[in-house]
Structure 1
Amino acid sequence: MALKITVIGTGYLGATHAAAMAELGFEVLGLDVVPEKVELLSQGRVPMYEPGLEDLLQKHVAGIEGSSGRLRFTTSWEEVGAFGDVHFVCVNTPQKHGEYACDMSYVDSAFASLAPVAREGALVVGKSTVPVGSAARLTEALPEGVELAWNPEFLREGFAVQDTLHPDRIVVGVASERSEKLLREVYATPVSEGSPFVVTDFPTAELVKTSANSFLATKISFINAMAEVCEAAGGDVVKLAEAIGYDERIGKKFLRAGIGFGGGCLPKDIRAFMARAGELGADQALTFLREVDSINMRRRGHMVELAREALGGGSFLGKRVAVLGATFKPDSDDVRDSPALNVAGQIHLQGGQVTVYDPKGMGNARQVFPTLGYAESALDAVRGADVVLHLTEWREFRELDPAELVSVVGRPVLLDGRNALDPVLWRAAGWTYRAMGRPAA
């Protein structure tokens, strides 16, 4: 008899996981405590922008014409308990206010609500990013006969559907052969296609996601530190990154210098990792992450100072600043801890007249910074601007016509905060092009 799967928490991770499980052929029931979200998902719609996710939902949500009908959503814990053989917990674990540690309240609440209704023999699978040691504690919250496993997620925003259906690895922390067998059944399709299936204990599974994010954050901050050295020494960080990237031990990915990383994962994950290491008495092992975090945050202030220099080194008062990009990365509408929006906000608070354009993130940006100006296109954003800042590397911005923009801008000065535009092309069109860690000309 085929397994029935529930997904608890239908945010970015949960909605994607639920749709992917239906695509893999399972009957799936998604739960959320927000009725409006359940109603939206039941119509095959999503509250966020993620390429391909809405199409996948509409392919499977019950009640939509032509769908498989394998996917439904509810607010009822009793319905979830009666339905599910395998329960995936996909709720948020944000950073606690005023401290580095992870806020486990949503996870704890989900386990407290699920425990009384889960059937004997059910498997609860944590996917949320949690401090190491959480699984051992949460096992105690489950009744006898209900097992726990930990299966960290590795989704990249903009590629979440692909990453769920065709993962580069599947990691499962289990305490029994039965749990491993059930998860092998859940992931049989991607495993048959070649996805590695890594079986570990609980602590190792919990450490994988934070370790991976810490490594990526370190790599990004390393090249940004080299950009600072290049600026001081007159070097070119783009050529430096190209040269060291040919070394197979280092690789080319995540070596583009710029205004740093943001989003809902990397910043809060490395801070929670540091906090947890301190609780375990291993804080010295992760002190380097403080500098990684510091380098990253410093990049935002550096871009603000570059903009000030480009305007003559004085005040932003009365100056018109165009910002291309609001999301923390392209192919997403996520503005959580976005370096682009942070830079725009800093300049605005210092008196600049800031106008932002982003292909997908305008609605969310307006909610965070309603006092910024917003344009309907890149052309409208740069109209009359004294300086233009490129802060999110959308393809749309790489394909802009510099000659068209130069005809409407106030002063043709471009600061490339992502080292993603072609300096030769922009300079040929009459722009003064400046990028972080690169020679001025």
Structure 2
Amino acid sequence: METLKKIAVGIIGVLILWGMGYVLIQASHEPAGSLSPRQPAPAERVEPVPPESGEQPAPPVSRREPSSPPEMVPPSTAPSDGTPQPPGDTIAWRRAPSPKAPAGNGDAPVLSGKMPTYGNPNPIFIRAANRILPAVVTVHSTRRVRHPSINFFSPFFWKKDKDQEDEGEEDEQDFFQPGTGSGIIISKDGYIMTNHHVIENAQDVRVTLYDKREYTARIIGSDPTTDVGLLKIDIGGDTIPVAYIGNSDSIQIGEWVIAVGNPLNFNSTVTTGIISALGRSIDIIDRRYRYRIENFIQTDAVINPGNSGGALVNLNGEVIGINTAIATRNGFYQGYGFAIPINLARKVVSDLIKYGRVRRALLGVSIENVSDRVARAVGLPRPTGALVQGVSPGFPAEEVGLRQGDIILSVNGEEVVSVSDLQTKIARHQPGDVVTLVIWRDRRK
């Protein structure tokens, strides 16, 4: 038996040696160069975007070069395009130069920012990112949280008597909870716009700029009904970049946007997407605030915890919204982000600077959205506007004769499409302002 095993092992060894020799012989007959690594395909030439007037055309690029650092745009105290400031503003909101539409594109829709209608769109996104990045900051806050001290054994061994329960409040312990969010520099003297929930109950706030400079910030004020907050840093003789401010009334669904902030502690993160919807109400502001306003811009640009207070900008690098919330079931991005329209935030910020609080204009009506059933019942061509359900005594609505059943269709010539839209349009005014309403009553305007 042992002899048979030795013979079998010998035969197997011979077969292995014969196979290796055969492979070597075959390899020696292959043509030279057949085992050389595959040559990479030649790089395709990237055609530059036609330059705007006054700009020098960039040379053609055949390989990827390291990206240059973002431009530090010097601050300005007045709009660069000469646009007059709305009455009541306390900030010299910075405006970007109006983009020039390419020739032969007269049928294209008018958007709030640049539109990549020709060539390689990358330079347009890069230019917009470079314009906003230096003006978006990281906001570090610390808030004091009180929790009762925990005794893991007392519930199982004895019950507190009344005297012990009265003394229980003294057993509470203080904890300091750190938080991180984002903010937008809106003036050369150090005002920073952010979210109310980023700085709510904060005892210590620090701000880190894009170039790593750090400043201690003080809270000027905040408005929980709109979730807008305002900080101020003392910059001394330093120069800081200032964001360009756009017009959120001019944006359209489908328009490209860029979200900038500090999600999950990844500083100065840029993501892109489109405007998915306008006028969203997501029931995120505390219901105890009677005059809360939810009229969010919805976007699919990636937004995560830490983005709050950061910028949503158009392709001209202008801020059109403040990133605020996400719709999620796991606490992180699932495709739906929401931003406060910048036109509403501007009013809040101006009030906080001028009055130290928000002065809210009120009509004095209770309203609801117009359903298709209601529209058909009152002869309205389509369901739009805000249905008046009640009128409060002593308020302007009663004084001018509004009554239950009226449908408010427009404010100062601007169409009202929903309850949140009407609230936003009225909230942008000051108490005492005169507005013109168009209403639907008795089956006619």
* TM-score for the superposition, normalised by structure 1: 0.25
Higher relative strand content: 2
Higher relative helix content: 1
* TM-score for the superposition, normalised by structure 2: 0.25
- Whose Rg is larger? 2
